Amino acid sequence: MPTKPKVPCKHPGCPELVPSGTKYCDKHKAMHPEEVRSAAGRGYGSAWRKASKMFLQAHPLCEECKLQGKYVKATVVDHIIPHRGDQKLFWDQSNWRALCKRCHDKKTGREDSKPEFNY
């Protein structure tokens, strides 16, 4: 039975081929820990669920939708500046804002389509 062809590593500018279903080559895998760690491993465990629930109770409306004159229930706590594993930034409530899932997905898609890498 034939195997699937290898695909290029998803890291920008890397020509290395990796097995189908794998995103990054061994050289770049460590630069993308969000791809291999669970949500709890990235800090989104029970403490985060409790804190974000309390934040949403205090901020029930999506801040992006409010700017457009719409009143939509917020369901996600967004990190304004992506924390990228920085625990101080992760827990800094001045870096949080309430968004609806649609607005959060749009923002995250924009940020994740052009990530910044620190070498």
| Residues 69 and 87 placed together within one structural domain of the fold | yes
| Residues 82 and 47 placed together within one structural domain of the fold | yes
**Rounded distance, CA 65 to CA 71, Å?**
6
Residue 102 CB neighbour total at 10 angstroms: 14
| Residues 12 and 70 placed together within one structural domain of the fold | no
| Residues 81 and 119 placed together within one structural domain of the fold | yes
| Residues 13 and 60 placed together within one structural domain of the fold | no
**pLDDT tens for the 119 residues of the chain, in order:** 678 899 999 888 899 999 988 888 989 887 776 666 677 777 788 999 999 999 999 999 999 999 999 999 999 999 998 887 789 999 999 999 999 999 999 998 887 766 665 55
| Residues 74 and 104 placed together within one structural domain of the fold | yes
How high is the pLDDT of residue 118? 58
| Residues 63 and 93 placed together within one structural domain of the fold | yes
**Rounded distance, CA 42 to CA 34, Å?**
7
| Residues 22 and 49 placed together within one structural domain of the fold | no
The H-assigned helical ranges of the chain are 26-29, 46-58, 63-67, 87-91, 101-113
Full domain range(s) for residue 69? 43-119
Q: Is residue 73 a contact partner of residue 62, using CB atoms and an 8 Å limit?
A: yes
| Residues 17 and 49 placed together within one structural domain of the fold | no
Residue position matching structure tokens 């389509």: 113
Residue 22: partners with Cβ closer than 8 Å, 6 or more residues away: 7
pTM for the model stands at: 0.68
Nearest to 76 by CA among 94, 60, 98: 98
The count of domains in the chain is 2
| Residues 50 and 31 placed together within one structural domain of the fold | no
